[in-house]
Amino acid sequence: MDALFGCDGISLTLAGRQILHKVSIATDPGNILGLVGPNGAGKTSLFEVLCGRYPCDEGSIYLKGSNITGLPFLKRARMGLGRTYQSPVVPTTLTIGETFLAVRKARKPYLSRHDAEWAARLVHLHTAWDTPAAVLGAFDRRKLLLACLLMREPCVLLMDEPASGLINAEIDELDVIMRRLVDEYGISLVLIEHRLELLSAVADTAVVLDLGEVIASGTPDQVFADERVKAAYFEA
Ligand SMILES: Nc1ncnc2c1ncn2[C@@H]1O[C@H](COP(=O)(O)OP(=O)(O)O)[C@@H](O)[C@H]1O
Ligand SMILES: [Mg+2]
């Protein structure tokens, strides 16, 4: 595969049910690929396969020219594949600063405090570092987790519904942050969002999943005009 990151023909069975049917996606540096589809379409399951938490039945996953299909989660992460989750779960007993310290120490050679300050600035996390992570609101939790990921300098970020739980002004700010990751750092984002209208503002490419199958892909405008997409969304 020539693309920076992608998968080819991924199928997945969970508990005896086929969840994904030959799904293929591909994306390049500095691109935002939006993965959309109704609830239960298989978006999160695809992320589980891509990041290495679920083994797939068939198909291949590629990163920077290597076939990573058989690699464990941590190896993929070390190669530059980052992933965020729909629920922003932060450490319950650590402050923001202690959370950053844990990330710094996990990296060999250790990262400096400067690396954490850089990441915090990049995600607009302005809350004092002695604040316990557990008291943070949804947006600050997302910012903290994203900053921790950025300290590892990923080349691809899989983000599962990053706008969920945020108010409109926060979603606008998140768009600005994501744009910067893409434009200044060349990171490739794969973004799950079940609200079609939110994607059109940010995504270069949209892929629509329905019942575990890709039913459309192209620019957001092309995809939103597609009859199968309208049927999946509005006539379900
Ligand atoms: N661990 C699991 N075991 C069995 N079925 C699952 C599991 N995870 C998800 N599913 C099923 O897979 C389908 C797709 O779920 P999911 O990937 O979470 O969809 P989406 O993220 O698009 O809302 C759903 O029908 C869901 O019930
Ligand atoms: Mg999901």
Q: pLDDT digit string (tens) for 177-186?
A: 999 999 999 9
Cα-Cα-Cα-Cα torsion 28, 70, 39, 158, nearest 10 degrees, comes to -40
Give the whole-number percent of the chain exceeding pLDDT 70.
Answer: 99
Question: Among 60, 121, 61, 133, which residue's Cα sits nearest to residue 95?
Answer: 133
| Cβ(43) – ligand 1 distance below 6 Å | yes
Of all protein residues, the one whose alpha carbon is nearest to atom 6 of ligand 1 is: 14
- What homologous superfamily is domain 1-80+154-236 in, according to CATH? P-loop containing nucleotide triphosphate hydrolases (3.40.50.300)
Residue 236 has pLDDT above 70, yes or no: no
Which of 219, 195, 229, 212 has the alpha carbon at shortest distance from 57? 212
Sign of CA dihedral 120, 144, 209, 221: negative
Which tokens go with 92?
A: 């319950």
Structure confidence at residue 235 (pLDDT): 63
Write out the H or E segment, with its range, that includes residue 51.
helix 43-51
Percent of the chain whose pLDDT exceeds 90: 87
Ligand 1 pocket, residue 40 CB under 6 Å: yes
Nearest in space to 142 (alpha carbons), one of 187, 96, 201: 96
| Residue 233: pLDDT over 80 | no
Where do the domains of the chain lie? 1-80+154-236, 88-153
The ligand whose atoms approach the alpha carbon of 213 most closely is 1
Torsion over CA: 125, 129, 133, 135 (sign): negative
What's the rounded Cα separation, in Å, for the pair 152 and 192?
A: 21
pLDDT in tens, 191-215: 998 777 778 889 999 999 999 999 9
Kindly give the distance from the C-alpha atom of residue 12 to the centroid of ligand 2, in angstroms, as a whole number: 15
The reply to whether ligand 1 has any atom less than 6 angstroms from the CB of 41 is yes
Of 107 and 198, the structure prediction assigns the larger pLDDT to 107
Q: What is the pLDDT of residue 92?
A: 94
Residue 64: which of 215, 188, 191 has the closest Cα? 188
One DSSP character per residue, 82-96 reads EEE-SS----SS-BH
DSSP 132: B
Summarize the confidence of residues 95-107 as an average pLDDT.
96
CA-nearest residue for atom 8, ligand 1, is 45
pLDDT at 122 > cutoff 90: yes
Mutate to test the pocket of ligand 1, among 12, 14, 18 (most ligand atoms within 8 A of CB): 14
